[in-house]
Amino acid sequence: MTGNATTRFGNVSLLSVQSRLPGGVRTSADVQDRLAPALRRLGLPRTLLQRVAGVHERRAWAPGEDVTSATVAAGEDALRVAGVDPSDVGLLINTSVTRKHLEPSVAVGLHHGLGLPSSAVNFDVANACLGFINGMSIAAGMIESGQIRYAVIVNGEDADDIQDVTVDRLLRGDAGRDDFMAEFATLTLGSGAAAAVLGRADEHPEGHRVLGGVTRAATRHHALCVGSTDGMFTDAQALLEGGLELVVDAWKDAVAEWDWGTMDRYVTHQVSKVHTRAITEAVGLDRAKVPTTFPTLGNVGPASVPITLAHEQESLRTGDRVLLMGVGSGINTAMMELAW
Q: Which residue numbers are catalytic?
A: 103, 129
Distance from C-alpha of 289 to C-alpha of 266, rounded to nearest angstrom = 6
- CA distances 281 to 80, 241, 274, 277, Å, are 39, 13, 11, 6
Residue 281 CB burial class (10 angstroms; 0-12, 13-18, ≥19): exposed
Q: Of 317, 314, 321, which is closest to residue 337 (Cα–Cα)?
A: 321
Residues 6+ apart with CB under 8 A from 263: 289, 321, 322, 323, 337
3-state secondary structure of 195: strand
User: Cα(87)–Cα(118) distance, rounded to whole angstroms?
Assistant: 9
The CA-based angle 175-176-177, given to 5 degrees, is 135
Query: Within 10 A of 177 (CB to CB), how many other CB atoms are there?
Result: 12
- What is the Cα Rg of the chain in Å? 19
